[in-house]
Amino acid sequence: MNGATACRPTRGSQYTMMLHTNDYLEYYLTLVGWIINSGVWNMIEDSGLVAAPFAAIIISEWLKARAEGADEGNKGVLSLARVENRFYTAILVIIVCCMPLVTVSIDTLQFDRSRSEQCQYSVPNPADTGWNTSFSTLNGKSAVVPVWWLFVHAMSKAATAASIAAIPCGVDLQQVRMDVNRARINDPLLAQEVADFTNDCYARARAKLFMTQPTLSKDQLNDVNWIGSRFFLQTPGYYDDGFSGFRSHTPRTKWPYDTTRDAGLPQTTGGGGFPTCTQWWSDSSIGLRARLLEQVSPDLLSKLAQWAKFMTQTEVSDSVIRDLVSPRKQKLT
């Protein structure tokens, strides 16, 4: 069997039909498999093996007639009727299940992207992937498929599509990870303020932590490794203790001068005050945390919250901010 025989159209194969596939490997192998099948069928036709089932029916009925007794009546007529009935069945099976009738080619294959579009994911076409070289080898080639197996393919794809549609849309974690890695502080003034907060608040809090050496749980040991630490925010004597130096050391115009909080500190012409580290970080809308959160895409936060259902929205936001203010991100800002 040569390549020309394997890919030649079978007689009567003037019909075409669209075949749906769900992944790139299936997109390629579906056509390859039917091209091989067409070649095998052509070999069966050319060699005359297509007549083998009919010969087997005749021999089977002849042997059966010889084994029957004289009381069966006219054995010739009975055998002829049985052969005729079995011939009709064999012809129907061969036409429907074996004889290729419908032409398929790379142009009649369709990569099913309906689910990815429903879940708003971007999935490239097969020609835009690394499989493109393999796909190009099939250009101009076609195969002919039996009707029954087209029906089976269509029914199986319908069942697959219905089953997939019943699964809720998930989160593309790889895309989320890429989005998190790309997130940066785009405002240079805000980036400088993060550096000021690190020097004025976090460094001082870490120094006090090492001096006092409190007993910390495993979660707290992980928590104190970033500037928005809940331990520093919620434990008295750390970020809330402005009189011990846990405050901005330069005036901040977003916090007006407070004679009680800022007692003993110079009152500048700009009217800026010296917020405590807790105020500086946590105040709504003007706090450093709120402004850092504005640097993150709301869509990214929504996807993370959808995936991390075991975390609260505050925990999700803190995890993103923690990555945003990490030293590796600050070096690239």
Buried residues in 283-293 as b, exposed as e (16+ CB within 10 A): beeebbbebbb
The distance of Cα 158 from the centroid of its chain, to the nearest Å, equals 21
Those residues whose C-beta lies under 8 Å from the C-beta of residue 319, and which sit 6 or more positions away, are 304, 311
What is the C-alpha to C-alpha distance for residues 114 and 245, in angstroms, rounded to an integer? 59
69 or 306, higher pLDDT: 306
Local structure of 144: helix, strand or coil: strand
What is the C-alpha to C-alpha distance for residues 214 and 234, in angstroms, rounded to an integer? 14
- pLDDT value of residue 276: 95
Local structure of 271: helix, strand or coil: coil
- Nearest-CA neighbor of 37 among 47, 26, 45? 45
- What are residue 273's DSSP bridge partners? 252
What is the C-alpha to C-alpha distance for residues 98 and 38, in angstroms, rounded to an integer? 10
Q: Tell me the mean pLDDT in the region 75-104.
A: 87
12 or 317, higher pLDDT: 317
Tokens of 168: 């809720």
Strands 272-273 and 142-145 come out as unpaired
What is the C-alpha to C-alpha distance for residues 241 and 275, in angstroms, rounded to an integer? 10
Buried residues in 211-227 as b, exposed as e (16+ CB within 10 A): eeeeeeeeeeeebbebb
What is the chain's Cα-based Rg? 38
pLDDT tens for each residue of 188-206: 999 999 999 999 999 999 9
- pLDDT of 260 higher than 60: yes
- What are residue 247's DSSP bridge partners? 276
Local structure of 232: helix, strand or coil: helix
- Nearest-CA neighbor of 252 among 229, 268, 237? 268
pLDDT tens for each residue of 133-162: 666 666 677 788 899 998 998 899 889 888
Could you count the other beta carbons within 10 Å of the beta carbon of residue 136? Answer: 11
The pTM assigned to this predicted structure is 0.52
Q: What is the mean pLDDT of the chain?
A: 83
Residue found by looking up tokens 């550096």 in the block: 195
What is the C-alpha to C-alpha distance for residues 246 and 204, in angstroms, rounded to an integer? 7
- pLDDT value of residue 11: 47
- pLDDT of 81 higher than 80: yes
- What are residue 19's DSSP bridge partners? 109
Q: What angle do CA 143, 147, 153 make, to 5 degrees?
A: 80
pLDDT tens for each residue of 275-316: 999 999 999 889 999 999 999 888 888 888 877 778 888 898
- What are residue 104's DSSP bridge partners? 143
Helices (H), the chain: 3-7, 24-47, 52-67, 75-93, 114-118, 132-136, 147-165, 173-182, 188-197, 203-212, 218-223, 230-234, 277-282, 288-293, 298-307, 313-324, 327-331
DSSP state, residue 247: B
Domain ranges within the chain, ordered by starting residue: 3-169, 174-331
